[in-house]
Structure 1
Amino acid sequence: MSLRTAHTSAPVLDTLAERWSPRAFDAAHTLPENALRGVFEAARWAPSANNSQPWRFIVARRGSESFTTIEDTLAGFNRAWAGSAAALVVNLAEVTTEAGDPQPWAEYDLGQAVAHLSVQAHAEGLYVHQMGGFDREAISAAFSVDPRFRPVSVMVIGALGSADQLPEPLREREVAPRTRFDLESLFIARD
């Protein structure tokens, strides 16, 4: 068990207990051509309402123009560390169908797809960190995103780096013990 493994109150899959969201990524690590195929396959098979599969992704490898475009939309705190990851991925939810009907569950379903992706990535030895601090309008404009799709989050994917490469206070947060609310506090009601 690593120092980053979650201390759970009930048994969970090792991959879930070991998964965490680092900020220190190895800037020398690159992803070979089909390295992300498995993680997106896991996302593809996530459950969705009416099998609508309302998720789409913009994938950019470090060194590409698209990577720089996405990186430039990140909030300053995220921009301080995310550029060392091997890839940036924008997660988009199809909130309206082609016929114009709303899909109020789209963001929930996208979340399931990204959760599947992050667990698969961890099982493949990659790390994922999701971020909400970015300019959604700038992403939509830069990639000519159809208005039916809403950018919801950006994630970084890559190999783990050293916490020593991070500036304070990010370094301190990187090595701090993992914490979560107590399990019982999650329930509003329970029979």
Structure 2
Amino acid sequence: MTTSRDAETSVPIHPLIAARWSPRALDPDGKVTDEQLRAVLEAARWAPSNGNTQPARFLVGRRGDPVHERLFDLLSKRNQGWAHPAAVLVLACAATENEKGRVPMPEYGVGLAAENLVLQAVAEGLVAHQMGGFDKEGAKLVFSLPADVEPQVVIALGALGSPDLLDEERRAKELAPRRRLSLGEIAFGGEWGTPVF
């Protein structure tokens, strides 16, 4: 079983960030305790947001309950192929309005909250995989979401499982080296395209 997939970085970064990755091999018997679930949601609650508007909202389903089943049914067939063992499925949504009117940059706020959530999952000894492949319009209907709430991502939470649980294609991806663009390709100084490092 894969136990460490730490990022190879040009300088040391925080261990939680280095250890965060998006596995598809989830232990079908893995658990997320109430304390762990509360901790990941609490971490999401404390994410920064524009003017403290806090646009992130979460629908939470545990394996075997109706919310989990409905969220699973909304996933793309490709994601259904691996996400069924997730102990928890979380639908992260953006509340686009509040009492003052339109919330500025709500999707960005949800992204920050989701990152806090997955980093706390790592701290809790869990794994998380975020999925954009799901039926957003279906989620609005199935969960009777208010008109000002937009589904953004479904997050699978659980315990890491063996890559042997996956089909050949997914297992190859699970075991392949992790890759990112180099720092010189994403961080510029002086002018666009000139690496800062």
Taking structure 1 as the reference length, the TM-score comes to: 0.94
| C-alpha distance in structure 2 between counterparts of 1:153 and 1:98, whole Å | 25
User: Where do 5+ consecutive residues of structure 1 fail to align?
Assistant: none
Q: Give the distance between the partners of 1:61 and 1:135, measured in 2 at CA.
A: 19
Partners of 1:111 and 1:74 lie apart in 2 by 19
In structure 1, the partner of 2:156 is: 156
Gaps of 5+ in 2: 191-197
- What's the counterpart of residue 10 of structure 1? 11
- Kept after mapping to 2: 8 A contact 1:98/1:148: no
How many matched pairs? 188
Residue 66 (structure 1) aligned with residue 44 (structure 2): no
Aligned-residue identity in percent:
44
**Could you list the runs of 4 or more consecutive aligned residues of structure 1 that deviate by over 4 angstroms after TM superposition?**
none
Query: Which residue does the alignment assign to 2:195?
Result: none
The alpha carbon displacement at 1:11 in A equals 1.6
| Structure 1 residue 34, shift from structure 2 partner | 3.4
Letter in 2 for 1:7: E
In structure 2, give the amino acid aligned to 1:135.
D
- The residue correspondences of 1:82-97 to structure 2 (distance < 5 A) are 82-97=83-98
* Residue 98 (structure 1) shift: 4.5
What is the DSSP-based 3-state SS (H/G/I as helix, E as strand, rest coil) of the residue aligned with 1:129? strand
Letter in structure 2 aligned against 1:25 = L
Superposition map of 1:112-151 within 5 A? 112-151=112-151
* Aligned position for 2:189: 190
Whole-angstrom CA distance in 1 between matches of 2:66 and 2:48: 33
Provide the secondary structure at the position in 1 that maps to 2:154: strand
- TM-score (normalizing by structure 2): 0.91
Within 2, Cα distance between the matches of 1:154 and 1:51?
Answer: 23
CA RMSD of aligned residues (A): 1.3
User: What is the CA distance between 1:190 and its match in structure 2?
Assistant: 1.9
